[in-house]
Amino acid sequence: MRVSEAIVGRQSIRAFLSDRPVSNDTIEALLNVAGRAPSGSNIQPWQVYVVRGERKSRITEACSARFLVGDEGEYEYYYYPREWRQPYIGRRRQTGFGLYGLLGVDRSDTASVRNYRVQNYQFFGAPVGLFFTIDRDMEQGSWLDYGMFLQSFMLAAREEGLESCAQAAFCPYHDSVMPILEAPPEQMLVCGMSLGYADPDALVNTYRTERLDASEYLNILE
C-alpha cells in the first residue's frame, strides 16, 4: 500500500469484527513504526496502554454506566473551541447529520442517539483498545508531536489490514479510565482508540466525511 493510499483510505471505523484478534506482537510492531514520528528534540512524549479482556470490559462498564445516566464527566483539556463559530460549527453539524442520517437515527430522539453513542465505550466491537497518555508538564509542542505519532500508528495499522478509530469520547471519564489503567498521577489521558479489522458489512463503515480542497486553505506567497 502506498503512503498516499493509506492516508486517503483511512477513516474512523465504527464497527469491527470482534472475533478477529490482534496480537500484542502486531501492536508492538506498529508502535515501533509509529515511534519514528518526529518530536521536538526527540523527547518522544507518548505512553501507550493496550487493553483487552477483563481490563477492557471494566473500562466499558465504567464509562457506559456514567454516560447512560447522563454523567458528562469533565475534560482535563479543551478538545473543541470553547465557543463555536463558522465555519467550524457548520462542518461539525454536517458530519453529525451525515452519520445519523445514514443510520436512520433521529437526532431529536434522545434515546436513539444515546444508544448509538454508547458504542464508543464498547470500542465499537473492536477486540482491543488503546489509551494514549502524556505527562502533565509537557507543553503544546509535545501535543503536536503526539498527533503525528497517532497518525503514524493509524497509517501503519492500515498496512497490516487493520483499521482504527481515535476516540476523545473517553477523555471526560479520565477519572474512571486512568485508575483502571493503573496510570501514574503525573500522566493525563490524550485519547482512546479502537483497533481491529473493519466489519465489511456494517452500514456505518460506508460513511465518509468530506474534506476541503487544498485551494480553500492554501496561501502561496511570492
Tell me what pLDDT residue 145 has: 98
Tell me what pLDDT residue 168 has: 97
Tell me what pLDDT residue 107 has: 83
Phi first, then psi: give them for residue 38, nearest 5 degrees: -70, 145
CA 78 – CA 35 distance, rounded (Å): 25
The boundaries of the domain holding residue 99 are 3-206
Tell me what pLDDT residue 109 has: 87
CA 108 – CA 103 distance, rounded (Å): 14
Tell whether pTM > 0.85.
Answer: yes
Indicate whether 153 belongs to any domain: yes
Q: Give the count of domains, the chain.
A: 1
Indicate whether 218 belongs to any domain: no
DSSP 8-class letter at 35: T
Structural element, H or E, at residue 196: strand 187-196
Burial of 14 (0-12, 13-18, 19+ CB in 10 A): buried
Burial of 173 (0-12, 13-18, 19+ CB in 10 A): buried
**pLDDT digit string (tens) for the chain, length 222 residues:** 899 999 999 999 999 999 999 999 999 999 999 999 999 999 999 999 999 999 999 999 999 999 999 999 999 999 999 999 999 999 999 999 999 999 999 888 888 899 999 999 999 999 999 999 999 999 999 999 999 999 999 999 999 999 999 999 999 999 999 999 999 999 999 999 999 999 999 999 999 999 999 999 999 999
Indicate whether 211 belongs to any domain: no
Domain of residue 127, CATH code: 3.40.109.10
Tell me what pLDDT residue 119 has: 96
Torsion of CA 100, 106, 111, 114, to 10 degrees: 20
Tell me what pLDDT residue 1 has: 85
Torsion of CA 119, 124, 129, 132, to 10 degrees: -60
| Residue with cell string 500508528 | 153
DSSP 8-class letter at 12: B
